[in-house]
Amino acid sequence: MILGALITVIFTASNVYLGLKVGMTFASSIPAAVISMAVLKFFKDSSILENNMVQTQASAAGTLSSVIFVLPGLLMMGYWNDFPFWQTMLICAAGGTLGVLFTIPLRRAMVVNSDLPYPEGVAAAEILKAGNHDKGDTGVKDIAYGGVFAGVVAFLTNGLRVIAPVLEILYHAYGFSGALPRADMDPTQALSAPQATIMTTISQGIFTNQLEWTYILTGVGLGAVLIVIDAFLKKVSNKAFALPVLAVGIGIYLPPSINTPVVIGAFLAWFINRHIASYAARTGNQQISAKAERFGTLFSAGLIVGESLMGVILAFVIAASVTSGGSEAPLALNLKNWDRIGEILGLTVFIAGIIIFASRVLRAKKSD
pLDDT, tens digit, for every residue of 13-46?
777 776 776 666 666 777 777 777 777 777 777 7
* pLDDT tens-digit series, residues 69-107: 777 777 777 777 777 778 888 887 887 788 778 877 877
Q: Which of the 8 DSSP states describes residue 254? A: S
- Give the whole-angstrom CA distance, residue 161 versus residue 102: 46
pLDDT cut 90: percent of the chain above it = 4
**Among residues of the chain, what percentage have pLDDT more than 70?**
66
CB 28 within 8 A of CB 36: no
Q: What is the DSSP letter of 113?
A: T
Binned at pLDDT 50, 70 and 90, residue 158 comes out as low
pLDDT in tens, 111-131: 777 666 666 666 667 667 766
CA-to-CA distance for 86 and 99, rounded, in angstroms? Answer: 20
Give me the pLDDT at residue 120, please. 65
Phi, psi of 125 (to 5 degrees): -65, -40
Q: What angle do CA 292, 301, 291 make, to 5 degrees?
A: 15
CB atoms within 10 A of CB 325: 6
> Stretch 138-149: mean pLDDT, rounded?
64
Which pLDDT does position 131 carry in this prediction? 63
pLDDT at 161: 44
* Helix (H), strand (E) at residue 67: none
Structure pTM? 0.59
Cα–Cα nearest to 268, from 156, 148, 142, 360: 360
Q: How confident is the model at residue 157 (pLDDT cuts 50, 70, 90)?
A: low
Confidence of residue 163 (pLDDT cuts 50, 70, 90): very low
pLDDT at 235 over 80: yes
